[in-house]
Chain A
Amino acid sequence: MGKRERLSGNEAVAIALRQINPDVFPAFPITPSTEIPQYFASFVANGQVDTEFITVESEHSSMSATIGASAAGARALTATSSCGLAYMWEELYIAASNRLPLALALVNRALSGPININCDHSDSMGARDAGWIQMYAENNQEAYDNMVQAFRISEHKDVRLPIMICQDGFITSHAVENIELLEDDVVKNFVGEYEPENFLLNTKASMAVGPYAITDYYMEAKRNQAEGMKNAVAVVKEVAAEFAQISGREYGLFEEYCMEDAERAVVMIGSAAGTTKDAIDALRAKGEKVGLIKIRLYRPFPAEEIAEALKNVKAVAIMDRAEGYTNHGGPLGADVMSALFRARSQALAVNYIYGLGGRDVRVEDMEGVFEALKQITADGDAGETYRYMGIRE
């Protein structure tokens, strides 16, 4: 049986990590993720975990130490936000290309500048091509549940890739909300022991990690990485199905809300999806056929499945909480539109940039987006496809 609690998103993730009891957790603090290692440090001090908790002098080092531990054969992770992730940059690629199944608890925050501590997705979106699995959460419950599932996905022999478990800075990381926790032993059994096949501390089979690859081999190494990413889709679903057995909570690659007969839809990531659900309920009460697709798995990107879920909509708004500076929209917009194009979709699609640097998203804002989609449908023309929501003119 689960335990009803009220926790912030950061505390919820920290508790998941206590239950997982990883081997190594190198940490360097940065708002708004600082509380995760802070709570975890108290679990270490209280003897509730036997994790090697390493305080380091920078995020470059925290990711390097996580990589070193993982290569040695340990289950390892770290946490960060914003500029901390930016400072890990080269290490992100090292982790992925060495097929190390480590985890990163990322609390999304805007990148500087101007300096801003609040939520947007510019940090993790910048890392979308680094070869990491990326998963996002609407609320504290999903952040916790995704963390519990993380190592089962990353360590799977068909995958063996690092995983980034993302949640929205302050909006969920610092908000206390109701949550249902799993019992410690249930999580322990679900996650299981980590038994790496190849690892540096294995004296019986010595190996090299991070070698030079000449032109003759580099491309095959990258293709192999892509194969792991390809396999991740099925593994994410498999792990979610098992997780439903222990929790009663169902997860997929994305969540469909009121999509059965939806003529207009929003596609988005993160906490604003909850706000959008309230907007949808209000509009549905007036008979409007509106729905939502909330992305859980962003890398790998479930393009075909999303196009399938959108196949009956007349108009769709794709919401990006990050700029792409492409002059035509953000990263999610590009991914979804390319999925629609490949599926020969006739839907009219627009891409909104919203919520940068913590700009609040209200139910009324999302009702406004659905209203704009109504106009687009009536016009039979998407008009300007690169739009901003909630910007002062």
Chain B
Amino acid sequence: MSNLTEIRWHGRGGQGAKTAALLLADVAFQTGKYVQGFPEYGPERMGAPITAYNRISDKQIRVHSNIYEPQYVVVVDESLLETVDVTRGLKKDGAILVNTQRTKEEIIPQLKGYEGKVYIIDAHKVSMATMGKYFPNTPLLAAIVKVAGIMEEDIFLKEMEASFKHKFASKPEVIDGNMAALKMAMQEVR
């Protein structure tokens, strides 16, 4: 396995794709990796398509370009499948993860003949069941960690709990819901 993992996130402004990329950088950093998490902004407004990126490596990362040939793509908003070429440059030995309530069979025809692995998760279901509100990025973060094998699940959960305790220090009541969302997402992704 290559020691550099590159991930591209497609979302819409306000959905937390950037936050998810930053959280992934955060948790990978905790396991001793070199990381990059960064957004690519077009117009700054809610609902506009945005792209975010992650590089995770055993070596120092110096390159500062966007990612054109990722191993993994995460689609936070499936309406983007119609307007954005989400599989562009995606490596065949990689995978795409789509947040959808539909089946894999319904999604695949929209992926322009992508030959690699396809994973889906219903982040809406996971989010509503565990947090009572729609925050797709928490379930998608757990799902991509599992799909890309970025780290052991128990280490991931332990690090995320510590991170949530820090991030939500002023509202600890949301920590349990977020942790439940991560665990459920790891079961639900397929």
For residue A138, which residues in chain B have a CB less than 8 angstroms away from its CB? Answer: 62
Annotate B53-65 by CB proximity to A: 1 below 8 A, 0 otherwise: 0000000111111
**In the assembly, what is the distance between CA of A386 and CA of B22, in Å?**
39
| Nearest CB of chain B from residue A250's CB, rounded to whole Å | 16
| Nearest CB of chain B from residue A260's CB, rounded to whole Å | 19
The A interface, classified by DSSP as helix, strand, loop or mixed, is: loop
Is the Cβ of B34 less than 8 Å from the Cβ of A170? Answer: no
B5 adjacent to chain A (CB < 8 Å): no
Q: How many residues of A contact B (CB 8 A)?
A: 25
Is the Cβ of A176 less than 8 Å from the Cβ of B35? Answer: yes
Instruction: Find the B residue at minimum CB distance from A277.
Output: B62
For residue B62, which residues in chain A have a CB less than 8 angstroms away from its CB? Answer: 138-139, 274-275, 277-278
Q: Which of B29, B38, B68 contacts A174 (CB 8 A)?
A: B38
The A/B interface has a contact count, at CB < 8 Å, of 62
Q: Which of A6, A176, A178, A272 contacts B64 (CB 8 A)?
A: A272
Q: Of the 9-residue stretches A79-87, A154-162, A241-249, A356-364, which lies at the interface with chain B?
A: A356-364
Is the Cβ of A362 less than 8 Å from the Cβ of B68? Answer: yes
For residue A168, which residues in chain B have a CB less than 8 angstroms away from its CB? Answer: 64
Is the Cβ of B38 less than 8 Å from the Cβ of A363? Answer: no
In chain A between 329 and 361, which residues have their CB closer than 8 angstroms to a CB of chain B?
360-361
For residue A275, which residues in chain B have a CB less than 8 angstroms away from its CB? Answer: 62-65
For residue B38, which residues in chain A have a CB less than 8 angstroms away from its CB? Answer: 170-171, 174-176
Q: Tell me which of A170, A178, A275 has the highest count of chain B C-beta atoms within 10 A of its own C-beta.
A: A178
B78 adjacent to chain A (CB < 8 Å): no
Is the Cβ of B39 less than 8 Å from the Cβ of A174? Answer: yes
A117 adjacent to chain B (CB < 8 Å): yes
B140 adjacent to chain A (CB < 8 Å): no
Annotate A266-285 by CB proximity to B: 1 below 8 A, 0 otherwise: 00000110110110000000
In chain A between 171 and 209, which residues have their CB closer than 8 angstroms to a CB of chain B?
171-172, 174-178
A61 adjacent to chain B (CB < 8 Å): no
Is the Cβ of A6 less than 8 Å from the Cβ of B65? Answer: no
For residue B39, which residues in chain A have a CB less than 8 angstroms away from its CB? Answer: 170, 174
Interface residues of B (CB under 8 A from A): 22, 25-26, 29, 34-41, 44, 60-66, 68
Interface residues of A (CB under 8 A from B): 6, 31, 117-118, 138-139, 168, 170-172, 174-178, 271-272, 274-275, 277-278, 360-363
Q: A176-B25, A176-B37 are in contact. List 12 more A-B contacts (CB 8 A).
A: A117-B44, A171-B38, A174-B38, A174-B39, A175-B38, A177-B35, A177-B61, A272-B64, A278-B62, A278-B63, A361-B65, A362-B68
